[in-house]
Structure 1
Amino acid sequence: MKLKKYILLLLLSMLYLTIIFFGVFFNYKVIENSKDININNKNMATLVDCKGNFIVYNKKMYEAWIDLSFLRRQKKFKEYEHLLLSKYTQDEIKDKKFLKWGKFYTKKEAEDNLGVLRKFSKIYETQDRIYNDLFSLSQLIGKYDKTNYGIEKYLYNNKLLETQKEQNLSIDLTLQRILYEELKKTVKEKNASGAVALIMNTKTGEIKASVSIYPWNMGYMGYIEPGSTLKPMIYAMAIDENIIKPYETFKWSYQYTPKNTNIKIKESEYFDLGTMDIKTALAHSSNVAIAKVMEKILNTYSQEWLYNSLLKMGFGKKTNIEFSGEIDGVLKNPDEWKSITPYQIAIGQGIGVTPIQLITAFNAIVNNGYYVYPTFFKNKKVFGRQIYSERTSKKLLDWMRYTTILGTAKDAYKEGLLIGGKTGTAQKALKGIGYTKEDYYSLFEGYYPSINPEYTFLIIVDDPKGEYYGGEVAAPIITNVFYNYSKRKEVYNYLGYYFKGVLPNLINFDMEEAKALLINLGYNFNKIIITGSGTKVTYQYPNPGTLLKDTQYIELRSD
């Protein structure tokens, strides 16, 4: 009996060793969780714009890895080595246990590419993150695993990227593209150093377009001195506090020295208007008028009060928009101020504001005095606070309509487009030099349409050559943007009606326009397949005229 037990144990031991032997030398598998193999199989949230167009999405791929440790133990290793050296150098494979052979669209493609090396390899299903990097989107979205800035980094840091299937962003890709093209064109024509622009939904604070023509995203990660674009907020504050009356007048002079200072506030241009009211002062961007208003503020309140009022407007602190990397801007504490500092702030100097802070503060005036926090999320619950009275805000909106008719933004006037706003021309302060007469920011902040505004915008052009006033450089940009956008919407609406239920001919359409049109026709964007790397549609399936209800998917190719 004992002999039988020993024989049985011996046979089991031999069987176990045989299995190990064959497992190691004939049927070896790559260790699934080896620390030497980094496989991305995370299915992160898809990011889409407000109309469902893809901005970032996941694509299933297959990675092939070769187990070099196992391969080196084969008698025929030298015969296989030349295959390895067809893709890698000797130094690249030396001392490695595992070698990434490649990434493929299908498992069969991976197997075919491996050939005889297949039995020494493992094929993993992985996820590729595909980014739409056009129209300045790369600086806006970022990459969760490669950049320390951007919307995607924010989503990742807040555990939203891995817990959601899809994130609807507020960005409108059609508007983003038009804004980018107009801004890029102006930078080229004016030989400018850069530019930044934002368009916001007035009521909700949703960012509809955000473009930065810089190596970084200036809209959230940089700051400027705002120049005259700060004046509407100063006027609104003074009127609300009954420091000045809505129809107060000022005697014009080319320059003015406030009491207890040695600073001379000068007009940027000579215009003798005699006596001017606030509407005229805004339209012509009078520095003297705003200096007199600031003098009245300081006669009534302290510098500490002024500082807190600027904080209330949102300056000197992050807006907390869903963008990692946002900075605070610069608003010095009153104990660091000099007697001239409030007057510098009144004309937009001595304070550093980020573009997102500036557009959000200005939007409070456009939005009946209600400050809404900016957001990149579609349909997010609106949060905010009342910082100006509705009555004061409506007066300022009414006055700022004149800037595109009689004032500094006349170049923004276009028949049929009702735009209001405030221009700014900010001297750049250079380190060790101070304010120069050669380097400027050209700015235009405003709203469209000027009756019942839907959009609030900010345009900044950095150091344009030749013309540099905000009304000459920045203002025409937004006119062209909204003109082209409204025309594009008309085309979509017309085609959507004309081709209702039928697939149109999309050949030679811009790829983004083709997608937008299909979505406008009511087609499910998840069934639209985009291939190729071009910008124009060169092939479509199925053929034009096919009933959409009979279409399982639509392929658009750009070669």
Structure 2
Amino acid sequence: MELKRIIFIFVFGFLYVFLIFLTFIYNNSLSKDFEELASILESPEYALLLDSEGNTLVYNQKKYEAWIDLDFMKKRKEYEKNKYLLNQRFNEEQMQDKKFLKWGVYDTYEEAYMDLGVLNKFSNIYPVTQRVYNELFNFDQLIGKIGKTTYGIEPFLLEKGLLENQDEIRLSIDLELQKIVYQELLKAVEKESAEGGTAIIMESNTGKIKASVSLYPWNIAYMGYIEPGSTLKPLLIALALDENIVNTNDIFYSGYEYFPTGKNNFRVTESQGYGFGEIGLKETIVHSSNIVISKIMNEILKEFSNQWLYQKLINFGFGAKTGVEFKGEINGILPLPNTWYEITPYQISLGQGIGTTPIQLVSAFNVFANNGKYVQPSFLEDTSTLKRQVISEPTTDIIKDWLGYTVIEGTAKKAYKEGLRIGGKTGTAQKAQSGVGYIKGSYYSLFVGFYPLVDPKYTALIVIDNPKEEFYGGEVAAPVLKDIFYRYTKEKGIETSESKKVYYNNIMPDLTGFSVVEAYNILLNMGINGKDIIIIGNGDKVVSQSISPNKYIDDSKIIELYAFK
């Protein structure tokens, strides 16, 4: 009896040790296979991305991934037995030549374990960190995704090592403004049956980008280029003023046509088909004269070389990446001056022959909102601002005033709304195709400007791609920016001159309904000379006025107030 017990214990012990040995070999083989996979699945926790107000744009979420070792299952000759389970989620093609098979992603370890069922013995469950993205309002194209896109803010930050070793990064983007820009731009693109649209709004003083939308399959704002068209004219006039090539009192003649080279190789006409007659520099910007800007370019070339002009364009930021934190940004196109033809400078004067990215264009135009300083754009809220002086402050003040007049009386009238003093320049750039040239009837409609006119806070660019009806920038793009700033100021509760009575010294106010004494004093406080104010009639209140409300007041004009009973 004792012998049987000893034999039983020996046999049982042997079998137990043998099973442990088999399990060890089985699991060790499985474990070695999964070590390879584990190294691939390592997912570090990167910094959260927040907007400028602390709203979350990208965050980390812990998940569990269940993976099946098909190779191990086949080695154990159990693949055919479990094939019917695998086929519930995968077909033969999906499993072909696969060593590991991702069974699913789960919120908890227990969910993963239960879902695997009998497949657990061929599987492993890994804790992973997934990035969760706000994809509303075009954020997916702007921010990008680690491991999924080769462009965007997040891939840039990862490449520079900025996502590691910190809990969060605050971007300059304003979520509320981004929403408004997206909605208004989309509305305009749909209304105009356009092919796409782009908008960028930056903080004028710092260059921090507050909103950026690109309604394309890819982000053209940083990865594509357009010709700037007439939006380049104020920059060129500013250069000419700074170098004393022209002065504010100069008069130029705009006729039916102009041949700047003196030959028939380049003909310039006005977009409306007729000349403006004798006009000054202000009117050149306000009415966007092609002929006069070509004549100004002629004056520039009398004093300076193509190389000089090229370097000035480089100083404005054209032809090179801005350095904004966006992976995939391109240089744009600015041909070297030794490749220029005789007509190239005149093409440039019309905003042709160069390719600027939208971020380059809005950054260059921002000099007028920033006392002549170029500011490097940035997506980071907590960053130092890099500035350089490219235009003198006195010249900047002159051009800024003229750009305000453009919205009141010029090509950008549709950017005007009472209470919103916007300054800016329209542009209409004919689209070009490589190897084909300019495409007839195909245009970019542009408006680049700043708000408010006095002490600008924001500089912005609107581009509408190939609208089907109206195509001039003043008709299509300018009203979009007006609508954006109107909504933003209303929704943020920002006080404008619409919500409080503010009078500007060069804009005629609506004085109807005011007493004669009140109206007279308002004009005096605006800097109007008393001898230039005439009261007609013997009534107590103003019933009409000689200059319509919101019109620009010329120094030479007499203001008549009618006060009939």
TM-score scaled by structure 2? 0.80
**Alignment partner, residue 402 of structure 2:** 399
Asked whether the 8 Å contact 1:445–1:458 carries over to 2, the reply is yes
Distance of 1:272 and 1:398 partners within structure 2 = 24
Paired position in structure 1 for 2:331 = 328
Structure 1 counterpart of 2:267, from 264, 267, 275: 264
Range 75-84 or range 334-343, more displaced? 75-84
Partner of 2:179: 177
Aligned residue identity for 2:45: N
- Note the alpha carbon deviations across 1:349-399, whole angstroms, 9 max, x for none: 111111111111110121100001011111210002100101111111111
User: 1:184-208 CA deviation, whole Å, 9 max, x = no partner?
Assistant: 1111111112111110100010111
Q: 1:442 aligns to what?
A: 445
Q: Which runs of 4+ in 1 moved over 6 A?
A: 13-18, 73-78
Q: Is the 8 A contact 2:324 2:376 kept in 1?
A: yes
| Residue 83 (structure 1) shift | 2.6
- 1:383 alignment counterpart: 386
SS in 2 for 1:296: helix
Q: How does 1:289-328 map to 2 (within 5 A)?
A: 289-328=292-331
Give 1:309 deviation, angstroms.
Answer: 1.0
Report % sequence identity: 50
| Deviation digits for residues 491-544 of structure 1 (CA, Å, limit 9, x no counterpart) | 99xxxxxxxxxxxxxxxxxxxxxxxxxxxxxxxxxxxxxxxxxxxxxxxxxxxx
Aligned to 1:342, which of 328, 342, 345? 345
Q: Measure the CA separation in 2 of the matches of 1:26 and 1:168.
A: 46
Q: Which residue of 1 aligns with 2:419?
A: 416
| Partners of 1:43 and 1:127 within 8 A in 2 | yes
Match in the other structure for 1:366: 369
Q: 1:190 aligns with which of 179, 186, 192?
A: 192
Q: Which residue of 2 aligns with 1:114?
A: 116
* Counterpart for residue 281 of structure 1: 284
Partner of residue 469, structure 1: 472
1:246, distance to aligned residue in structure 2 (A): 2.6
Change (3 A) 1:261 1:318: farther
CA distance in 2 between partners of 1:45 and 1:358 (Å): 31
**1:321 partner SS:** coil
Which amino acid in the other structure matches residue 346 of structure 1?
Answer: S
The one-letter amino acid paired with 2:490 is K
- Counterpart check, 1:141 vs 2:143: yes
Partners of 1:196 and 1:461 within 8 A in 2: yes
User: Letter of the aligned partner of 1:223 in structure 2?
Assistant: Y
- Supply the AA of the counterpart residue of 1:124: Y
Change (3 A) 1:74 1:206: same
1:153 maps onto 2:117 in alignment: no
From 351, 358, 362, the counterpart of 1:355 = 358
> How far does residue 170 in structure 1 lie from its aligned partner after superposition?
0.9
SS of corresponding position for 2:217: coil
Paired residue secondary structure (1:405): helix
Q: Distance in 2 between matches of 1:421 and 1:251?
A: 24
Return the index of the structure with the highest Cα Rg.
Answer: 2
Name the CA distance, whole Å, in 2 between partners of 1:173 and 1:431: 37
User: Is the partner of 2:426 in helix, strand or coil?
Assistant: strand
Could you tell me how far apart the structure 1 residues matched to 2:344 and 2:238 are? 20
With over 3 angstroms needed to count, the CA separation of the structure-2 counterparts of 1:91 and 1:465, relative to structure 1, is: closer
- Cα offset, 1:432, TM superposition: 4.7
Residues 344 and 92 of structure 1: CA distance in aligned 2, closer, same or farther (over 3 Å) = closer
Give me the CA root mean square deviation.
2.5
The letter of the residue matching 1:34 is E
Shift of 1:70: 5.0
Aligned to 1:24: 25
Paired with 2:93 and 2:247, the residues of 1 have a C-alpha distance of: 79
Gaps of 5+ in 2: 1-13, 496-565
Q: Distance in 1 between matches of 2:93 and 2:234?
A: 65
Q: Are the counterparts in 1 of residues 34 and 124 from structure 2 also a CA contact under 8 Å?
A: no
C-alpha distance 75-261 of structure 1, shift in aligned 2 (>3 A)? closer
Which of 204, 223, 227 is residue 225 of structure 1 equivalent to? 227
C-alpha separation in 2, matches of 1:385 and 1:16: 79
The one-letter code sitting in structure 1 at the alignment partner of 2:463 is I
Distance 1:14 1:445, change over 3 A: same
Q: Give the CA deviation at 1:345.
A: 0.4
Answer whether contact 2:34 2:69 (CA < 8 A) is retained.
no
**Which residue number corresponds to residue 39 of structure 1?**
41
- 1:142 maps to a residue whose letter is G
> 1:75 offset after TM fit, Å?
8.9
- Matches of 1:14 and 1:113, distance apart in 2: 32
- Give the structure 1 partner of residue 245 of structure 2: 243
Cα gap change, 1:69/1:466 in structure 2, threshold over 3 Å: closer, same or farther? closer
Question: Which residue of the partner structure matches residue 550 of structure 1?
Answer: none
Q: Tell me which residue corresponds to 1:502.
A: none
Q: Distance in 2 between matches of 1:188 and 1:30?
A: 56
Q: Is the 8 A contact 2:235 2:365 kept in 1?
A: yes
Normalised to the residue count of structure 1, the TM-score between the two structures is 0.81
Q: 2-side partners of 1:419 and 1:201: how far apart? A: 15
Q: Distance between the aligned counterparts of 2:253 and 2:207, measured in 1?
A: 38
| Cross-structure match for 1:7 | none
Q: Secondary structure at the match of 1:30?
A: helix
Corresponding residue number in structure 2 for 1:459: 462
CA contact under 8 A between 1:30 and 1:67: conserved in structure 2?
no
67-76 or 127-136, which deviates more: 67-76
CA deviation string 1:280-339 (max 9, x = no partner): 211101111211111110111111111111111111111111111111111111121111
Deviation at 1:92, TM superposition (A): 4.1
Q: Corresponding residue for 1:51?
A: 53
Structure 1 contact 36–97 (Cα < 8 Å) conserved: no
Change (3 A) 1:261 1:82: same
Cα gap change, 1:445 to 1:90, in 2 (>3 Å): closer
Report the Cα distance in structure 2 between the residues aligned to 1:160 and 1:63, rounded to whole angstroms.
Answer: 27
Q: Partners of 2:95 and 2:364 in 1: how far apart?
A: 57
2:384 and 2:34 mapped to 1: Cα distance? Answer: 43
How many Å apart are 1:163 and its aligned residue?
3.4
